[in-house]
C-alpha cells in the first residue's frame, strides 16, 4: 500500500521502550496509528539449528538461555519432551519441586512486567518499587537453584538438587511478604489516577478478535476466554496442585495488570500448597542413555502464555529436530491489532501489555527461497541473502 515517508514512524529496532530489538513500522494518520507493519528476526540466533549439534543434556543449557525471564519454562518444556520420548516417569518429589520453581518464576516474571509497565507509562516510582520486591524472589531462586536467572535446575529425570535445609521457613516468610506487596500494587494500579487514565480503556481486545487471531496467555484470559495449560493439560505436579485460572472481560491494559497480579497471588497459594504436600523420595532417577526414536509434542504454561515444544529423536546422541513456538509469536499479531487507531503515546504500553519477549520469539529456521529449495542456510549464505535483499528493497 502507498504511504508517504513523512507518515512513517519507525519504532525500533533500537528504542528505549523495547527490551529487545524488533522493528515496527508505524504508519500514522495525524498522530493516530493507522497500520503497523512488524518486521521480526532481529534476535534470531539459530538456536534450533544449534540444538541439532549438541547432545541431549547439553541442550538443556542451550534452551534455558533462549530467554532470561521464562528460562525455566523453556528448559522444562524441552526436558518434558525428552522424557516423553524415553517413556520415563519423573519421581513425584521432583515434579513438586519443578512446580515450585516454575511458580516462583511466574511471580518474578509478572513483577518484572509490572515494573516495566510503570516505567513505560512514565511512572518510575512503581518500576523501582516492584523491582525492589522482585529481588526477594530472585534471592529465593538463588538459594534453591544456585543462580538467579538461568537456573539450570531441571535435569532429564528430575531436578538436580533437593531443597536446601532451612529453606522452608524462609520460603513461607517471603511468600507472605510477596502477597502483601502484590495486594498493595493491585490497589495502587487501580486507584492511582494518572496510571489508570493511561491504562484503562487502552488496547481493548474483544472475544471475536481473540478467536480470530489466537493470542495466548494472560492476553487471551483478559477477554474472558479462561484457558490455561496448567489446568487443561496438566504437567509437572499441576494435576494435584490445581491453580485457579484468572480471567477478566475488559480486555484493556488495566485488566491485564489485575490478571497478572491475581496470578501472582494464586502462585503464592500454589507454592504454599506444594511445600505443605511435598512428598518424600528421590529427586532424580537415572535415565536410560539412549533416547529411542520418536516424536513428542507438548506444551507448558510459561508466564507469557503457551509454550509449545516439539522434539524428534532418531536414536542418536542428540535431538534430530527441536521446534518451539513461543507465546510472544502468537501474541504479536494481536498486539498489532490492538494498536490500530491509538495515539503514539500508547504504543509502548500496548506492546508491553502482551509482555513481549522477542528473544524467545525469533525462531525462524525455515527459509523459503524462490529459486532453490534449501531448508537451512549457513551463516555466510544468510548474510549474503540479507545484503541482496536490502539492495532490492528500500
Residues of this chain that interact with other proteins (CB under 8 A) are 9-10, 15-17, 54-55, 57-58, 61-62, 118-126, 128-129, 132, 135, 139, 142-147, 150, 152, 160-161, 164, 184, 187-188, 190-198, 343-348
Cβ closest to other proteins, residue 93 vs residue 299: 93
Write out the three cell numbers for 49. 539449528
Residues 394, 388: Cα–Cα separation, whole Å:
11
Closest to 77 measured CA to CA, from 144, 154, 159:
154
CB of 200 to other proteins, least distance (A): 9
Provide the grid cell at 13: 529496532
What is the enclosing helix (H) or strand (E) of 298?
strand 294-302
Q: Which is closer to other proteins, CB of 16 or CB of 379?
A: 16
First-last CA distance in the chain: 14
Q: Is 300 helix (H, G, I), strand (E, B) or coil?
A: strand
Nearer to other proteins, 44 or 148 (CB): 148
Q: How far is the CB of 265 from other proteins (least distance, A)?
A: 18
Cis peptide before 158 (omega within 30 of 0): no
Q: What is the DSSP string of 305-374?
A: EEEEEEEEE-SSSS-SEEEEE-HHHHHHHHHHHHHTT-BGGGHHHHHHHT---HHHH--------SSS--
Q: How far is the CB of 3 from other proteins (least distance, A)?
A: 14
Minimum CB separation of residue 195 from other proteins in Å reads 5
Minimal distance, residue 250 CB to other proteins, in Å: 13
Cβ proximity to other proteins, 18 vs 270, nearer residue: 18
* Closer Cβ to other proteins, 125 or 374, answer by number: 125
**Shortest separation between residue 371's beta carbon and other proteins, angstroms:** 36
Which residue do the cell numbers 491494559 mark?
253
Q: Give the residue with the Cβ less far from other proteins, 228 or 346.
A: 346
Amino acid at each position: 500500500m502507498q504511504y508517504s515517508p513523512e507518515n512513517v514512524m519507525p519504532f525500533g529496532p533500537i528504542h528505549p521502550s523495547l527490551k529487545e530489538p524488533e522493528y515496527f513500522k508505524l504508519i500514522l494518520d495525524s498522530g493516530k496509528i493507522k497500520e503497523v507493519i512488524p518486521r521480526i528476526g532481529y534476535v534470531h540466533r539459530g538456536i534450533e539449528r544449534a540444538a541439532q549439534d549438541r547432545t541431549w543434556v547439553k541442550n538443556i543449557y542451550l534452551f534455558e538461555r533462549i530467554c532470561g525471564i521464562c528460562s525455566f519454562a523453556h528448559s522444562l518444556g524441552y526436558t518434558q519432551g525428552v522424557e516423553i520420548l524415553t517413556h520415563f516417569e519423573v519421581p513425584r518429589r521432583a515434579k513438586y519441586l519443578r512446580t515450585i520453581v516454575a511458580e516462583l518464576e511466574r511471580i518474578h516474571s509478572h513483577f518484572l512486567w509490572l515494573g516495566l509497565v510503570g516505567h513505560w507509562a512514565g511512572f518510575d516510582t512503581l518500576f523501582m518499587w516492584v523491582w525492589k520486591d522482585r529481588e526477594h524472589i530472585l534471592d529465593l531462586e538463588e538459594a534453591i537453584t544456585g543462580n538467579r536467572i538461568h537456573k539450570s535446575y531441571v535435569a532429564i529425570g528430575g531436578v538436580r538438587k533437593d531443597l536446601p535445609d532451612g529453606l522452608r521457613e524462609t520460603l513461607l516468610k517471603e511468600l507472605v511478604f510477596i502477597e502483601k506487596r502484590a495486594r498493595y500494587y493491585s490497589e495502587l494500579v487501580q486507584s492511582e489516577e494518572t496510571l489508570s487514565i493511561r491504562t484503562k480503556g487502552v488496547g481493548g481486545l474483544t472475544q471475536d478478535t481473540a478467536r480470530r487471531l489466537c493470542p495466548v496467555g494472560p492476553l487471551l484470559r483478559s477477554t474472558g476466554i479462561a484457558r490455561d495449560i496448567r489446568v487443561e493439560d496438566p504437567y509437572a505436579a499441576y494435576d494435584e496442585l490445581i491453580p485457579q485460572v484468572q480471567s477478566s472481560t475488559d480486555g484493556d491494559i488495566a485488566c491485564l495488570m489485575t490478571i497478572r497480579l491475581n496470578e501472582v497471588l494464586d502462585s503464592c497459594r500454589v507454592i504454599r500448597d506444594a511445600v505443605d504436600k511435598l512428598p518424600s523420595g528421590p529427586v532424580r532417577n537415572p535415565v536410560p542413555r539412549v533416547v529411542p526414536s520418536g516424536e513428542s509434542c507438548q506444551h507448558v504454561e510459561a508466564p507469557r502464555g503457551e509454550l509449545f515444544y516439539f522434539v524428534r529423536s532418531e536414536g542418536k546422541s542428540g535431538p534430530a529436530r527441536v521446534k518451539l513456538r513461543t507465546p510472544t509469536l502468537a501474541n504479536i499479531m494481536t498486539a498489532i491489532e490492538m494498536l490500530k487507531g491509538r495515539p503514539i503515546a500508547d504504543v509502548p504500553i500496548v506492546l508491553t501489555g502482551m509482555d513481549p519477549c522477542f528473544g524467545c520469539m525469533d525462531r525462524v529456521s525455515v527459509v523459503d527461497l524462490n529459486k532453490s529449495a534449501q531448508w537451512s542456510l549457513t551463516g555466510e549464505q544468510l548474510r549474503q541473502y540479507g545484503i541482496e535483499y536490502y539492495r532490492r528493497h528500500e
